[in-house]
Amino acid sequence: MITFKNVSKRYPDGFVALNNVDLAIKSGEMVFLTGHSGAGKSTLLKLLASIERPTSGVIAISGQNIAQLKPAAIPYLRRKIGFVFQDHKLLFDRSVFDNVLLPLQISGFDSKSMATRARAALDKVGLLQKEKSMPIALSGGERQRLCIARAVVHRPAILIADEPTGNLDIAYARDIMTMFNSFNQVGVTVLIATHDASLLENTQHRVLSLKQGRLAA
């Protein structure tokens, strides 16, 4: 599903964020990506979303080399991926429901199936009762769940989460991990970047650890 071959990313100021990274994530796999801040986690995720391009190497998603993607093709790559952002990136001028609707509008679903899918996604994260609320009225945990609903509403093949349990208490964090597990069980490839050691305890899933831009074994 996702392969990195000799991927390096060096920023214009000379900082090397990723250094010859090789990795392969199979379709339907759930993988944790861990490391200290500055280890290259965010860079790796940005490369996957084509927000940044690697300095060298090949990144393939479903066999497509995204390191050489034309700008016009980037939106279609991003539609295959659901993103859970660390800072949520919600739109505060529209309701919870309309926030979840946005990816569907972007992908061009018809109006009828949009509402059904949006409600289904809100139901999965337990926010159906709040569909008319504004994001400003939501708690931190609810905002995170809204962000997850928006990430999965268009049923992407890949789900990428950046510090999804960042500022949440343990109970909330466990809820959210249960959600990710359930998405993975229906076949979604899940990649979670986190430095939260408690998430990694007792996990059966693969853990990739980045240290100074290199993948540790």
Partner 1 sequence: MISAWLSQHGRALLLTIKQLIHNPITNLCSILVMGIALSLPTGVYILMESMQSLSGQISSAPQMSLFVKTTASRQDIDSIKQRLESDARIVDFQFISKDAALRQLQQDNGLTNIAASLERNPLPDAFIVHTQKDGTAALEQLRAALQNWPEIELVQFDSDWVERLDAILDLGRLIMLMLSTLLSIAIVAIMFNTIRLQILTKRDEIEISKLIGATDSFIQRPFLYFGAIQGLSGGIVAWLIAAFLVDRMNRQLVDLTQLYSTDFQLHFLAITDSLSLLIFSAWLGWLGARISVASHLWQIEPR
Residues from 7 through 66 that contact partner 1 (CB under 8 A): 49, 51
Q: Between residues 105 and 185, which has the closer beta carbon with respect to partner 1?
A: 105
Q: Between residues 132 and 201, which has the closer beta carbon with respect to partner 1?
A: 132
Least distance in angstroms from the C-beta of 79 to partner 1: 4
Residue among 1, 16, 67, 78 that touches partner 1 (CB under 8 A)? 78
Q: Between residues 49 and 134, which has the closer beta carbon with respect to partner 1?
A: 49
Residue among 12, 110, 197, 204 that touches partner 1 (CB under 8 A)? 110
Name the phi and psi angles at 119, rounded to 5.
-65, -40
The total of other beta-carbon atoms located within 10 Å of residue 78's CB is 17
Across 110-133, b (16+ Cβ under 10 Å) vs e yields eeeebeebbbebbebbebbebbee
Least distance in angstroms from the C-beta of 38 to partner 1: 17
- Give Cα 215 to chain centroid, integer Å: 19
8 vs 57: CA distance, rounded Å:
6
| Residues 6 or more apart in contact with residue 165 via CB below 8 angstroms | 144, 172, 173, 176, 177, 194, 196, 199
Residue 171 sits in the site that holds partner 1 (CB under 8 A):
no
Residue among 26, 36, 89, 206 that touches partner 1 (CB under 8 A)? 89
Least distance in angstroms from the C-beta of 2 to partner 1: 17
Number of residues that bind partner 1 (CB under 8 A): 23
Q: Which helix (H) or strand (E) holds 176?
A: helix 170-185
Residue ranges that bind partner 1, judged by CB under 8 A: 49, 51, 72, 75-79, 83, 85, 89, 91, 93, 102-103, 105-111, 150
